[in-house]
Amino acid sequence: MLITIITFILVFGLIVLVHEFGHYYFAVRAGILVREFSIGMGPKVWWRRGKNGTTFTVRILPVGGYVRFAGDDDDDEEYLRPGSTVSITLNDNQLVKTIDVNQNNQLLQGIPVQVVDHDLTDDLFIAGYVNGDESEVKRFSVDHDAVIVEPDGTSVRIAPRDVLFQSASLGHRMLTNFAGPLNNFILSLVVFVILGFTLPGIPTGSNRLGNVQSAGPAARAGLVTGDRIISVDHHRVENWQELSQQVSAKPGKLVKVTYEHGNRKKTVSLKTTTATVNKQKVGRIGIEEELSKSPAARVKYGWNAFVQSGTLIFSVLGHMVTHGFNLNDFGGPVAMYAGTSQATHYGVNGVLAFLAALSINLGIVNLLPIPALDGGKLLLNIVEAIIRRPIPEKVEVVVTLIGFTILLLLMILVTYNDIQRYFVH
């Protein structure tokens, strides 16, 4: 269980880190201030503010994470409502450089101010009564790069107009919204390619033989590694799938096999053995598929696995559309944990395969046009491009809130269903 828990934290944490870094990277490139980059949820256990103004935090619950763009929240308005008391410090130019709203930890040498008015977006000022003197309202200009110390002690930059998410061009906002899922796709492809390099070899799919079992019918008939079977009972075979089908269909029977050995063509008769697969008898002659160890084959394997995994997810989504909604088609953190537990039984390769599949899964799901998901945000961007004007902020907030509520209810239902599936029954 301990190994599963550690693996789950590492796998899920890596996927979230890569996803959020995509949003972060393209936001910074677009001139958008990322106020906070958090790994985990809940109370913070560590934080540092970077040179570009982003506060990096690690939070106690190792599930999820987020980037907080300037303009994404109204926390500053809540902290600095009229009547609230804050502590400020000034820089050498007498501009406010720090606003501490944490009442339990006032700044050393800070000036206590009871807020009367403020604007940290355009005019950049804070006004109020100093040291409880209500006879005069003092106004302080705020530095563009000033920071706010939030109630939990986290220090983040203020959000002036020029660094707001909404102030970036539509193209930059779309790219920033798409970058998270894009990074999940890149991670999935890279891990699948790495997986290809960890395997002993990559099946070529050809009709050329790899390992020939020494005691099997093929070896007794004289076939060796490198021979190419061209027909079975006069049925021509062009690849491994056709070869496997012809042999499997003849359990315990005498068959004629024509093959090429070097430049010579030979025909031998041999009797297949019988094996049971999925309660059906199939024929075997003791041969294995040819494996390639070339870098090109390994990279191709990674790409094919990536495409197949994505195709499978789209098939599941298509099935949901055509056959109706079913909670068993979804999986939340409980299902991910159960999947991690299964993957750990197959060692490193099992974990890598699970990581790659989960990453592309989350990337595709995040692109669904549901408000509160990246796909929903992209849909609003597309609407904005069509109507050629920004969507009213109130409309966007309401739509996002509705989407978030639906997702929250769905997550509760999915989690309950997962618990019933994996731990009750």
What local confidence, expressed as pLDDT, does residue 425 receive? Answer: 57
Going by pLDDT thresholds of 50, 70 and 90, the confidence category of residue 403 is confident
Averaged over 213-217, what is the pLDDT?
A: 93
Is residue 67 in a domain?
no
Give SS3 for 213. Answer: coil
In a domain, 101, yes or no: yes
Q: Range of 267's domain?
A: 203-292
pLDDT in the model for residue 315: 82
In this model, does residue 9 exceed pLDDT 90?
Answer: no
Same domain, 211 and 111: no
Residues 331 and 412 in one domain: yes
Q: Would you state the pLDDT for residue 402? A: 85
Q: Are residues 84 and 117 in the same domain?
A: yes
**Distance, CA of 114 to CA of 392 (rounded, Å):** 33
Per-residue confidence band for 325, with pLDDT thresholds at 50, 70 and 90: low
Average pLDDT over residues 176-204: 95
418 shares its domain with 315: yes
Taking each helix axis as running N to C, give the angle between helix 333-344 and helix 393-419, from 0 to 180 degrees, rounded to the nearest 10. 50
Question: Of 292, 311, 341, at which residue does a domain stop?
Answer: 292
**309 and 272 belong to one structural domain:** no
Confidence of residue 196 (pLDDT cuts 50, 70, 90): very high
pLDDT of the residue at 342: 82
Residues 300, 286, single domain; the answer is no
Report if residue 9 sits inside a domain: no
Q: How far apart are CA 49 and CA 21, in angstroms?
A: 16
Residue-level pLDDT at 230: 95
Residue 126 shares a structural domain with residue 244:
no
Strands 133-149 and 96-100: parallel
**Taking the CB of residue 355, how many other CB atoms lie within 10 A of it?**
24
Q: Is the pLDDT of residue 281 over 70?
A: yes
Q: Is the CB of residue 395 less than 8 Å from the CB of residue 380?
A: no
* 8 A C-beta contact, residue 298 and residue 189: no
In this prediction, residue 424 carries a pLDDT of: 65
Interatomic CA distance for residues 204 and 224, integer angstroms: 17
Verify that 301 and 393 share a domain, yes or no.
Answer: yes
- Pure H helices in 388-422: 393-419
Last residue of a domain, one of 129, 158, 187: 158
Q: 156 near 67, Cβ under 8 Å? A: no
Asked, for residue 191, whether it belongs to a domain, the answer is: no
Looking at residue 231, its pLDDT comes to 96
pLDDT of residue 421: 67
Encode pLDDT of 17-59 as tens digits: 999 999 999 999 999 999 999 998 888 899 898 888 999 999 9
What does the pLDDT average to over 155-182? 94
Alpha carbons 170 and 187: distance in angstroms, whole number: 26
The catalytic residue among 20, 36, 150, 290 is 20
At 422, the pLDDT band (50, 70, 90 cuts) reads low
The rounded distance, in Å, linking the Cα atoms of 189 and 303 is 6
Does position 250 have pLDDT exceeding 90, yes or no?
Answer: yes
Across the chain, mean pLDDT equals 89
Angle at CA of residue 164, ends 160 and 169, nearest 5°: 135
Indicate if 309 and 281 belong to the same structural domain. no
287 and 301, same structural domain? no
20 is catalytic: yes
pLDDT at 124: 96
> Residues 287, 332: one domain?
no
Is the per-residue pLDDT at 206 higher than 70? Answer: yes
pTM score: 0.83
The pLDDT confidence band at residue 5, using thresholds 50, 70 and 90, is: confident
Does residue 190 belong to any structural domain of this protein?
no
Tokens of 224: 């060796």
User: What phi and psi, each to the nearest 5 degrees, are found at residue 237?
Assistant: -125, 130
What does the pLDDT read at residue 74?
Answer: 65
Do residues 27 and 174 touch, judged by C-beta distance below 8 A? no
Q: What is the pLDDT of residue 105?
A: 61
CATH code, 252: 2.30.42.10
More confident residue, 280 or 330: 280
Is 258 exposed, middle or buried, given 0-12, 13-18 or 19+ CB atoms closer than 10 A?
middle
DSSP string across 39-63: EEEEEEEEEEE-TTSPEEEEEEEEE
> Does residue 195 lie within any of the structural domains?
no
24 within domain boundaries: no
pLDDT tens for each residue of 101-153: 876 665 567 899 999 999 999 999 999 999 888 899 999 999 999 999 988 88
Total of domains in the chain: 3
Identify the band that residue 329 occupies on the pLDDT scale cut at 50, 70 and 90. Answer: low
Closest CA relative to residue 54, chosen from 73, 27, 78 = 27
What distances in angstroms separate CA 253 from CA 222, 238, 259, 333, one per listed residue?
18, 22, 18, 50
Residue 185 in domain? no
Top mean-pLDDT range of 92-106, 197-211, 305-319: 197-211
Residues 371 and 336 in one domain: yes
Last residue of a domain, one of 268, 292, 316: 292
Query: Is 330's pLDDT higher than 70?
Result: no
Instruction: Report which of residues 61 and 415 the model is more confident about.
Output: 61
Q: Which of 6-15, 114-123, 294-303 shows the lowest mean pLDDT across its residues?
A: 6-15
